[in-house]
Structure 1
Amino acid sequence: MAFQCKQFSIEQDKCAMKVNTDSMILGSWVEVDAQTRILDIGTGTGILALMLAQKAGPEAVIDAIELDADAAAQARENVLASPWAENINTCQGCVLSQAPARQYDLIVSNPPYFEGAKSSSNAYSGQSDVRKQARQSGSLSSDALFQWVAAYLEKHGDFYCLYPADAIQQLIPNAEAAGLYCHSLMWVQSQSNKPAYVAALRFRREPSIVKKASLIIHNESGEYSEEFRALCREYYLHF
């Protein structure tokens, strides 16, 4: 079933990973100012590339790369059906094998971040190979991602990503070793009485005091919170 946003629609029947709340949060949180050259790593359905295109100016050029061939083809279809078909270039392949001629002003990625299947979790049982690839970090480790981004991020550019909350303590020093420094961090909780399960991060090349915030998705009654609605209002159809 297609996922309908206010200004575009996402077909996702060919993609192992469907549109999810994490992607909607990350795409909504990213700040797009004067950036004109943008990269979405692991675009999947194309959701982040399309969210950024909605925010960016008409001169923006967005590259969207996806490893899985079926997902890349579907992302291309979604882009062509959107108002920004001329702004977004879709590519199938591994980002680590790419050597762009120019650096990017803004790089965004909702990467695969599970280290591997855990036998104690039913979430992994019966996964297809493409879903494992989309969910697990074997196809794109955080260290490899940071090193590539550090090589191709413009001097004053921004890199946004999202990782599990319990990985952040080690993730930030690893990013610093590659030359990327956390400027903003947003903890994401499903409800106020539950711990954060993921964190959205913004990295730049220069060291900085980290600006920290938190986002609670659902209120006590189980409905979307006002802060979540405010963050994602430009995209969710019924917000």
Structure 2
Amino acid sequence: MSNPYFQFKQFTVWHDQCAMKVGTDGVLLGAWASVERARRILDIGTGTGLVALMLAQRSLPDAKIVALEIDEAAAGQARENVARSPWQERIEVVQADFKKYRSSDKFDVIVSNPPYFVDSLECPDRQRAAARHNDSLTYEELLEGVNRLLAADGLFTVVIPTDVVDRVKAIASMNKLYAIRQLNVITKPGGIPKRTLIAFSFSNRECVIEELLTELARHQYSEEYIALTREYYLNM
């Protein structure tokens, strides 16, 4: 049986009640997304609360974070993880469907590790299927909502499968959102990117594209990955 929790340097994430466990995608998003000068942050599909907690660790001391989660069990566990953390006063876990979520104030930063495996076979576990598939929240719906909630000078950062990057960029541009930073993630030397992180803004300028190799060999992490995640992982 897998460990019911994951220990980071400044907080612990319990994930035994969540369909999607702590994983590299979430850690990369939490470590890479820019939160400089952000006062209001929205995490769409927070799951365990991992990304919200990571952003709380390195954002401004008075930054407020809304962690949105549609699944009741996951939202409950996220609340427990936040309550055990040093930032319980700054993170609000909201159980709601993003498609129906409204806010009177815009967000400086929005992040999401959204459902994926668009065309793959359905997972038999319904909770896990909802977390892994984008039937309940399409990229179109995600980006339309971001367009509505993001501040004029805000940033939206997302982690997606590399094979849908062009599609997501096209949908984003229809919502006046443009890629300005892109990180293609490679898990082994000589491999091809399977995951990509993209930061979008309403400002249409040249996109800076970089690559990150996570492992040189099994459990032997690259210097770049260690530098990115050192403030979080216990053994980095």
TM bin (shorter chain): over 0.9
* 1:228 alignment counterpart: 225
Cα offsets for 1:127-163 (capped at 9, x unmatched): 3100000000101111110011011100000000011
Structure 1 residue corresponding to 2:48, chosen from 45, 54, 72: 45
Matched, 1:63 2:92: no
Q: Which residue type is aligned with residue 61 of structure 1?
A: K
* 2:133 alignment counterpart: 136
Shift of 1:221: 5.9
* 1:205 alignment counterpart: 202
Shift of 1:220: 4.1
Contact kept? 1:75, 1:90, Cα under 8 Å? yes
Whole-angstrom distance in 2 between the partners of 1:52 and 1:22: 14
Q: Which residue type is aligned with residue 194 of structure 1?
A: G
Matched, 1:115 2:118: yes
Alignment of 1:69-80 (within 5 A): 69-80=72-83
Shift of 1:193: 1.2
Shift of 1:222: 5.1
Whole-angstrom distance in 2 between the partners of 1:79 and 1:220: 34
Shift of 1:116: 3.9
* 1:219 alignment counterpart: 216
Whole-angstrom distance in 2 between the partners of 1:86 and 1:4: 21
Whole-angstrom distance in 2 between the partners of 1:193 and 1:145: 33
Contact kept? 1:113, 1:141, Cα under 8 Å? no
Contact kept? 1:186, 1:214, Cα under 8 Å? yes
Whole-angstrom distance in 2 between the partners of 1:222 and 1:111: 26
Q: Which runs of 5+ in 1 are unaligned?
A: 119-123
Structure 2 residue corresponding to 1:13, chosen from 4, 12, 16: 16
Work out the number of aligned pairs and report it: 233
Contact kept? 1:104, 1:154, Cα under 8 Å? yes
Whole-angstrom distance in 1 between the partners of 2:134 and 2:11: 29
Shift of 1:99: 1.2
Shift of 1:40: 0.3
RMSD: 1.1
Matched, 1:155 2:152: yes
Shift of 1:169: 1.5
Whole-angstrom distance in 1 between the partners of 2:128 and 2:119: 12
Q: Percent identity?
A: 39
